[in-house]
Structure formats: structure tokens, C-alpha cells
Chain A
Amino acid sequence: MNPLLIALLAVLLGPLFVGTWRTSLWGLSMQGLLMAWLALRLGPHPSTPSAWLTLIDLALLRGVAAPTALYQVLRARNVPARHDAIPPNLLSWTLALGSVLVAFNFAQVLVPAPAMEQSIVSVAATGLMLGFLVLATQSATFGQMIAVLRIENAIALFELSGEGHAQSVAIQVGQMLVVAASIVLYRWYLNTVDDPDAPLGDDASEVAL
């Protein structure tokens, strides 16, 4: 397997075993940056607008903007360092490692020929499975955001593996704008959903549209 994909697998798994929110954000950031590197290695020299847009999406939006936006909110609120992406017990860890095995076996069924494509689909499927595992075990807003961003990164990695399936620039721009708007909204929700200082109203007397 390509060393980049091994590194990507490591940043998918690592934050599950180190229980701090900084590690979760670091993992997200590394996923974006490694995927951008992989896109550079897989594709032709980035001379087309489409290739540049892919790099901006992966490196800037997913690798830098999303983790930074969430980091700023948590830092400003002085949130305690401890945050477990999955419950720290043997069952969760077994489920996580089991998910990796299932994902790799599933990828072998989908792409029987052992090649680069199979490896990427394996890691993308792993990212998806682990994203759903994190989502299933989280009740806090931040943890759920991390899970959704993991799932979206896995989908982006899967998209990288599709040879010859070049999207038009307009669609790529549209998808990037959706990701950017989602990040802005996630930041806003992280600020407001769990805010203990927010004023509380009475549903019965609330005047609504």
C-alpha cells in the first residue's frame, strides 16, 4: 500500500485512541492535507482549473478552514482538553478495528484487482465506517461535527479514486461552496447549541412566525 494511504489510515485511527479535542481536529486537518497530497500524486500536474479546485477543496477547506474554525470556538470557550471520539473501552476499540477489517474486505469485493484503486477504496470505506462509529457514539455537538466531517472526508477520498470521472468546474465550485457554507454553519452551531449562557425562553409564551 502507498505510504500516503498508510499515513491516512493512521490519522483516521489515531484520534480514536487519544482522547482530546485537539487530536480530533489535528486528525481532520491531516486527513485534508494528506488527501491533497494524494490528489497531487494521482492526477496530472495541476494545470487545469479542475485540479486546482480539488487541491483548494482538500487542502484549504478540509485541511485548514474546517479544523481552524472549530478550534477557534473551542479555544475561546476554554473547553477542557479531554474529548473522547469514541468511548474509551475495549468494546469500542474492538468495534473500531473490526470496522477497518470489514471495510478492507468490502473494498476487495467492490474492486477485486489489487491495485492503487483498491487501496484508496479500502481507506475511504474505513473512513466512512469509522465516521459512522464516531457518529453513533457521540451525543455532544462537537463530537457529531467531527463525525460528519470525517464522513465527508471519506466521500472526498472516494471521489479521488474515480479515474476519468472529471466533474465540470461549475459543479466543483458548487460543491466547494456547499462545503464552505457548511463549515460556517458548523462554527455557528458550535457557538450556539451548547452555549450555557444563552438566554432561555418559555415555549408557551414565545411568539414565533
Chain B
Amino acid sequence: MSILVLVLMPAVLSACLLVRSVRVHATQLLVAVAGIVSVLAVSEAVHADSPRMLDGFVRVDATSRLFLAVVDPIFFGVCLYVWNRVATAPVLQAGMTRFVALALWFLSAVNAVLVANHLLVAWIALETTTLAAAPLIVRPRMRASRQASWRYLLFSSVGLGLALLGFMCIARGTQPDPAAPSFFVDGALPLAAAAPNLWHRLGLALLLLGLGTKLGLAPMYSWLPEAYDEAPPAVTALLAAVQFNCALVVLLRVLQCYRSNEPKLVAAELVAMGIVSMLVSTFSLIATRNLKRLLAYASINHAGVIAIGLGIGKTASYGLLLYVLSNAFIKAVLFLTAGKIKAHYRTKDTRRISGLIKDLPYSGVFLMVGSFALLGFPPFGSFFGEVLILSALVSSGRMLVFALFCLLITMSFVATGRTIFPMIWGEAEEQHSWPRQTFLSASPKIAFLVALVVLGLYVPPVVGDLIRQVAVSVEGR
């Protein structure tokens, strides 16, 4: 029952915003709904897998429980940030009804993606997250944000269209089989068990290309830096930490369904997309001087690492999941911090920001710790995730990929560090006086940092078990 509440409650309550008296309290409504959903989602993590519901279209398995427990609390944290922003900048109150309505639809669709037991239902829900998020990117008086928002919708529509075409090709390839096609996650026919044919290969290639577009993987990544840069920071955090994981869950489901008997299916394609994504993002990291774009390119880099991890499968799966979970928190912390920094310095140019640790102590610490995690320093989960993926690369004998991976990760490390570290520890060029940041305003980011450190130092048994279960399903056993 609580599963249906996760999906339906945000959507129903967004309709309540039609009532004028509710609109006055739109921000509080958003925080309350996100809080309740977050508690329900986390409580789902400790339950067993649920039976099928709604004709089998809904079912909560380990993948759902793991990602619900991560994504919904992050959404709640972002809502707390929004609440604080509106409280400190009352001018933002004007657009809150629209924001809250779309954010609640977004939350509803996100949860639908995570609990969907049918690939096409997951596809519809993922498309709905896009339709809800696209207008959120728009800042009313910024023409560039409107263009970025349109490009986001354009790429997403084409990418998800290709993914739909991929599903159809797979269905076509299994048509002679009377038991097929089935897009139910727990009832899909593994492709290797059926006679592999051209339709299957074409379908999987289109699915990879389409879902890769949503993940920001090369070759269809160019929407990402623009959208992440132009969107308001809270929306960027939602796109990077929440929607990214939804698209990834759909990809995990596809791999879970179709390569259970053939772990090497599309492995080479995933590794190639990952390496190319890391390559283009590394050179962009070297060139950019815009803080949000830098974080956006780092996101493409991470998507590349994740694609490589998925390509290797097997032993990399646990590390991959650790990396994915850590990344969700890293992106939430860093994009929200970038918003705070931009709001104070009124620039995103990294050369004009320095001495953050003295100037804005909270933001300085968040940027510092977040950057360490971003760059894969110990003791964060991203470090252990990367190490496990690298060791899986070595054990699988892909030494060329290993060498390229190490080279690109080192280059991106240097490029990111030389831009961000002077911002944190450099001498402040101008003296600014800021209103004091309260603990309450910083609390969501502190919670994300705590989660990051916990994932690195001590993975709670419940989370560890969930990660292992999901890893097994990704491995295709």
C-alpha cells in the first residue's frame, strides 16, 4: 500500500495547488510531501520484496528499495534547500506554485520509474520526469535558460524515442516465440535464451543510445552541460542526483532482463561509450572556467565510469553501485553549494571566486569535501567504487581500457583540482560581507556529506545487503 502512496500522493497533492488557500503554503506542502515520501521510501528499504501489484505492473525488488532509499531523501534535502532559499529571498515566492506543482509531478514519476515492474511503464514514467523537469529549467527572464530547457527536452524526446524503438525491435525479434514478448521485469525472456537475431542487436543498440542520452553519455551528451548550467541550482541537483539515477535504473532493468544468460551482451558497446564520454568530458574540464559547467562535465565523466562498470559487469557490480550511490550525494552537495556560491559572488567564473573557506565557511567546507569525494579520495564511497571497478578491469584482462581509464581519471583529477582548490584556499581578492549562514540552511548538505562518509567508512548491513542483491541482478546471474 505504501508503494502506491509513494507514487500517487505527490501527484494528487499537486492537484490541490489549484485551491488558492493551498497555493499560499505551496513550499510547506512540498517539504511535507517530500518528507513523508522520504520516510516511506527509507522504510521500504528494510522490508522484503513486495508481491506484484496492479496486474504485475508494480513490484518492489532490491533495485527499487535501494534507489528509493537514496533518491527520495535527496529530493527531500533539495526541498529543504528550496524552502530556505524562499525564506531568505522572498522574491522567489512568486513562482513557487508552478515549481511545487511540477516538482511533485516529478517526484511521483520518479517513484513510478523505481517501482515499475514493466519496462514500458518505466519508460513512460521516465518520459514524465522529463516533461515535468523541462519547464523547471526555465528561469523566466533568462533567454539562455529557455534555450537550454528546449535542448534538454529535444534530446530527451529523441533519446527516449530511440529507446522506445529499441523496445519494439526487441519485441519484434521475439515475436515467433509464443511466450514473448514480455516487458515485465520479472518475466522477460533473456535474449540469449531466445535465438539471437538482428532485431535483438538493433534493439539493444537503440536502447543503449537512447538511455545513454538521458545519462549524458557520448555521443548524445551535449544537452547536459547547458541544461545543468542554466537551470536553477535546486533543479540541477534534481536532474543530476535524482533523474540520472532513474535513467540508470531503467538501464539496469534492461540489462537485468536481457543479459541474464549472456553477461557479455553489449559489454563492448558500454565500455566504448564510457571511454568516449570520459575523453570528451576530460578535455572539457580542462577548458572550462564556469563552476557549474565544470561540475556538469564531471557528471559526464562519472557517467562514463558507470558505463564502463556496467560493461565489465561481474566483479565490478558492487563497486559500481557504491560509486553510483556516492555520486548521487556528491552531485546534490556540489550543485546546491554552487548555487549558494553563485548567489553570493554573482558569478560562475571560477577565476573570480577565491578564499571561500574564509569567506563562506560552510560552502567552502562543502565544496572542499564534495570535491575530494568527486575526485575519488578516500575514505569516500566513490574511491572504493573506483578501486573496485579498476581491479575488475585488471582481472578481466582489459589492460588497454585500464590504461585509458587511469590516464583520463588522472587528467580530470588535475583539471578539476587546479580550478576548484584555488577557489577554496586562494586569497580572497575582494572583501565581501555576507549574511551569516544558519545551521538549518546547511543541514541538507551536512546530511548528504554524512551519507557520503558513511558509504565510504561503514556501509550499514541493510544497505550492504541491498547493494549485493542489486549487484547480483546486474551481473545477470
Known: A178-B124, A206-B141, A209-B99. A185 touches B131 (CB 8 A): yes
Known: A148-B157, A182-B157. A162 touches B139 (CB 8 A): no
Which B residues lie within 8 Å of A43 (CB)?
none
- Selected interface stretch from A17-25, A31-39, A57-65, A192-200: A192-200
The distance in angstroms between the C-alpha atoms of A208 and B465, with both chains bound, is: 40
- Selected interface stretch from B167-175, B381-389, B401-409, B429-437: B167-175
The distance in angstroms between the C-alpha atoms of A209 and B175, with both chains bound, is: 49
Show 11 A/B contacts (Cβ-Cβ < 8 Å), sorted by A.
Answer: A155-B168, A158-B165, A162-B171, A171-B118, A178-B127, A185-B135, A192-B138, A192-B146, A198-B146, A203-B144, A209-B232
Q: Are B171 and A174 in contact (CB under 8 A)?
A: no
The distance in angstroms between the C-alpha atoms of A135 and B159, with both chains bound, is: 13
- Selected interface stretch from B45-53, B147-155, B239-247, B308-316: B147-155
For chain A, give the interface size range. Answer: 35 or more
Q: Are A178 and B131 in contact (CB under 8 A)?
A: yes
Which B residues lie within 8 Å of A181 (CB)?
128, 131
12 further A-B contacts with Cβ under 8 Å, apart from A165-B172, A209-B86, are A109-B198, A148-B154, A162-B175, A164-B175, A165-B181, A170-B55, A181-B128, A185-B134, A193-B146, A204-B347, A208-B92, A209-B99
Q: Mark A108-149, 1 if CB is under 8 A from B, else 0.
A: 011000000000000000001000000100000100100010
Residue of B118, B138, B141 most packed against chain A (CB within 10 A): B141
The distance in angstroms between the C-alpha atoms of A200 and B141, with both chains bound, is: 5
B400 at the interface (CB under 8 A from A): no
Q: Are B121 and A174 in contact (CB under 8 A)?
A: yes
Closest residue of B by beta carbon distance from A192: B146
Question: DSSP class of B's interface residues: helix, strand, loop or mixed?
Answer: helix
Which A residues lie within 8 Å of B140 (CB)?
199, 201
Q: Mark B110-122, 1 if CB is under 8 A from A, else 0.
A: 0000000010110
The distance in angstroms between the C-alpha atoms of A39 and B347, with both chains bound, is: 55
A189 at the interface (CB under 8 A from B): yes
B216 at the interface (CB under 8 A from A): no
Closest residue of B by beta carbon distance from A205: B346
B372 at the interface (CB under 8 A from A): no
Q: Are A201 and B142 in contact (CB under 8 A)?
A: yes
Q: Are A155 and B161 in contact (CB under 8 A)?
A: yes
B393 at the interface (CB under 8 A from A): no
CB distance from A117 to the nearest CB of B (A): 9
CB distance from A168 to the nearest CB of B (A): 8
B199 at the interface (CB under 8 A from A): yes
Q: Are B92 and A209 in contact (CB under 8 A)?
A: yes
Q: Are A110 and B181 in contact (CB under 8 A)?
A: no
Q: Are A165 and B171 in contact (CB under 8 A)?
A: yes
Q: Are A155 and B153 in contact (CB under 8 A)?
A: no
Q: Are A163 and B175 in contact (CB under 8 A)?
A: yes
A151 at the interface (CB under 8 A from B): yes
Which B residues lie within 8 Å of A170 (CB)?
55, 57
The distance in angstroms between the C-alpha atoms of A152 and B135, with both chains bound, is: 21
Q: Are A189 and B144 in contact (CB under 8 A)?
A: no
